[in-house]
Amino acid sequence: MRLDLSLASLRQRYLSAGLTPAALVDELHAHMLAEDALVDRHIWIHRLSLEAMQAYASALEGRDPASLPLYGIPFAIKDNIDLAGVPTTAACPDYAYTPTHSATVVQRLIDAGAIPVGKTNLDQFATGLVGVRSPFGACRNAFDPDYVSGGSSAGSAVSVALGLASFSLGTDTAGSGRVPAGFNNLIGLKPSVGRIPTTGVVPACRTLDVVSIFALTAADAASVLAVAQGVDGKDAFAHPMAPYGVNFGATPTFRFGVPRAQDLEFYGNDEGLPQFQAAVAMLTALGGTAVEVDLTPFRAVATLLYEGPWVAERYAAIRPFIEAHPEALHPVTRAITEKAIHISAPDTFAALYRLKDLELQTRPVWNTIDCMVVPTACSPYTIAAVQADPIRLNSNLGHYTNFVNLLDLSALAVPTGFMHSGMPCGVTLIAPCGQDFPLLSLAAKLHAGAVATVGATPHAPHKNGAVPDAALFPSGLVQVAVCGAHLSGLPLNHQLTQRGGRLVRAVGSAPVYKFYALPGGPPHRPGMVRVKEGGAAIAMEIWELPAREFGSFVAGIGAPLGIGTVLLEDGGKVQGFVCEAIAAEGAADITHHGGWRAYLAAPK
């Protein structure tokens, strides 16, 4: 039986003292050896020895498992990301160097208790979406070794899918963190550019690169992202993320963009369209409303990726090496990268201007939808097919991915089913920069209803860890409970809506309040006073508004009303309108009405 390496499962075992990191490492090492004996999938460029993994496990001895968010969690690292003391090759042996320090993201994970297990295979210098452009061998799919793993983060995806790591780090410049996820039944998060610092990462295109996360569930990916994110003062492209605002992934209704029929392309895969339509139906069943989107400007952006300055940027990333050792590169990688020699400065600026024009065309789309859904990849290909036609088939795999990085969007690959061949398929959810957490929240719901198992393992998503933890990511919103003239449709509701307020839900208070119609006006104002006995539940609404607007909203509240902690009927608490007890003297007791609307509607 393969290990259940989901974060929730391991954490539960650690907290109950049913497992130790040292025992996990022993068991995982044995599993790796058994997997090697079955099929050489060319997953690893450097797998850590049992002794090396045990050294990381030993560092956790005596620590409380609850004190570290990733205590004893094994993870794999794409071999263009530094791990101290282990060579970084970027899948080019002549390029190899041994770093003395780990990449910022890797060190953060280790400090949080995670245990590195090895460096994974990739398309050389992260150039490719197939996973076959490596002198260390073509990485083989977790479900069928005749098929490509997807790339460039090939081994990172396969290691997690086969239960050799709980999560892994990849990179994503044009889809490298999404295509392998789609082909291996995994969650693949391409975070917003700058959310995770790339210090210690071999660049492909520094302006587009992100460190991506492969995980078994959306909740696992969110837990890893929470540790990995944040500026480090060294990466000039890293920056703090603005709060995400409304979590559309957790609201009862949302709007999602769907490509027009004429924009959908599956390159001969007859199962592509029905599989995609099934995923759209799943999103609709979750409360989504599909909105047709014209992909024309997005596809125009995608065509820029391998025609202009971003090819030159790939060349610039390894310029001294490629000019000194051109023969060291994989033939396909070299052919693509050396195109940069023919790109002039005027060509570069023309492409940058074109990108800005296209970005302007795409911007209005986000005014009408919360997110967009597209197929993750058109079709899985065999290794033999890709080796026979390496450029065209690789290009096909980027049909729905290439525009995302250029437009600085957040994206998340989600498994949604399997084809008749047994190969996985899925969709990618896309949203504006900074919307990573809402995407993870929506993905969790979609994933839970779409597939029964995670990766190529027999394990179902862990029930106790299925929902990403909202406490890990600030929304930038505050909630306030209203019980009077600020209710929907009543005279003062505009004080909320004009500040960007949004109705969350109707609720009842705990049955510990007296409700009064205070003198003054007209109209009278309601006052809720907490009492020791004789109280009742009062009907309220919870509204959400940006924190920056909360101060001005509160400033407009006149005595004897104010904002305090209101107890809810479900046992929760929220900030809301309360009244000074002294104001109830002489006020009309309207508690029996149960709410302000009922009071207003009652005969006077």
Residue 33 CB: number of other CB atoms within 10 A?
Answer: 10
Residues 530 and 427 placed together within one structural domain of the fold: no
Q: How far is CA 262 from the centre of its chain?
A: 28
Q: How far apart are CA 165 and CA 116, in angstroms?
A: 9
For 46-78, give the DSSP string.
EEPPHHHHHHHHHTTTT--GGGSTTTT-EEEEE
**Please, which pLDDT band fits residue 523 given cuts at 50, 70 and 90?**
low
Q: What is the percentage of the chain residues whose pLDDT exceeds 70?
A: 99
Residues 229 and 317 placed together within one structural domain of the fold: yes
Whether pLDDT at 395 is above 90: yes
Residues 375 and 317 placed together within one structural domain of the fold: yes
In a domain, 467, yes or no: no
**Please, which pLDDT band fits residue 515 given cuts at 50, 70 and 90?**
very high
In a domain, 201, yes or no: yes
Coil, strand or helix: which one is 496?
A: helix
Strand 167-172 relative to strand 74-78: parallel, antiparallel, unpaired? Answer: parallel
Residues 433 and 581 placed together within one structural domain of the fold: no
Residue 428 CB: number of other CB atoms within 10 A?
Answer: 27
pLDDT at 1: 57
Whether pLDDT at 595 is above 90: yes
At 408-461, the pLDDT tens digits run 999 999 999 999 999 999 999 999 999 999 999 999 999 998 999 999 999 988
Residues 435 and 500 placed together within one structural domain of the fold: no
At 57-72, the pLDDT tens digits run 999 999 999 999 999 9
Residue 194, sorted as left (phi over 0), alpha (psi -120 to 50) or beta, turns out to be left
In a domain, 198, yes or no: yes
Q: Which residue has the tokens 């995609």?
A: 276
**Please, which pLDDT band fits residue 81 given cuts at 50, 70 and 90?**
very high
Q: How far apart are CA 127 and CA 89, in angstroms?
A: 14
Mean pLDDT of 489-496: 94
- How many separate domains does the chain show? 2
CATH number of the domain within which 560 lies: 3.10.490.10
CB 154 within 8 A of CB 182: no
pLDDT at 324: 92
Residues 136 and 172 placed together within one structural domain of the fold: yes
CATH number of the domain within which 38 lies: 3.90.1300.10
At 13-48, the pLDDT tens digits run 999 999 999 999 999 999 999 988 888 999 999 999
Coil, strand or helix: which one is 219?
A: helix
At 526-580, the pLDDT tens digits run 999 999 999 999 999 999 999 999 999 999 898 899 999 999 999 999 999 999 9
Mean pLDDT of 232-259: 94
Nearest-Å Rg of the Cα atoms of the chain is 27
Token pair listed for 15: 């907290």
Residues 157 and 279 placed together within one structural domain of the fold: yes
In a domain, 289, yes or no: yes
Token pair listed for 260: 């027009």
**Residue range of the domain that includes 200:** 7-461
CB 372 within 8 A of CB 257: yes
pLDDT at 231: 96
pLDDT at 423: 96
pLDDT at 464: 60
For 149-195, give the DSSP string.
--SSSHHHHHHHHTTS-SEEEEEESSSTTTHHHHHTT-EEEEPPTTS
> Considering 403, 434, 461, which residue would you say is the last residue of a domain?
461
Mean pLDDT of 510-514: 96
Residues 81 and 178 placed together within one structural domain of the fold: yes
Q: What does pLDDT average to over the chain? A: 94
Distances (CA, A) of 182 to 142, 215, 470: 11, 12, 25
Whether pLDDT at 146 is above 90: yes
Residues 457 and 483 placed together within one structural domain of the fold: no
Catalytic site positions: 78, 152, 176
Q: How far apart are CA 498 and CA 539, in angstroms?
A: 23
Whether pLDDT at 306 is above 90: no
Whether pLDDT at 581 is above 60: yes
pTM score, whole prediction: 0.90
At 104-122, the pLDDT tens digits run 999 999 999 999 999 999 9
Could you tell me which residue, 39 or 54, shows the higher pLDDT?
54
588 HSE (CA, 13 A, CB side): 13
In a domain, 313, yes or no: yes
pLDDT at 308: 76
Whether pLDDT at 154 is above 70: yes
Q: How far apart are CA 13 and CA 429, in angstroms?
A: 32
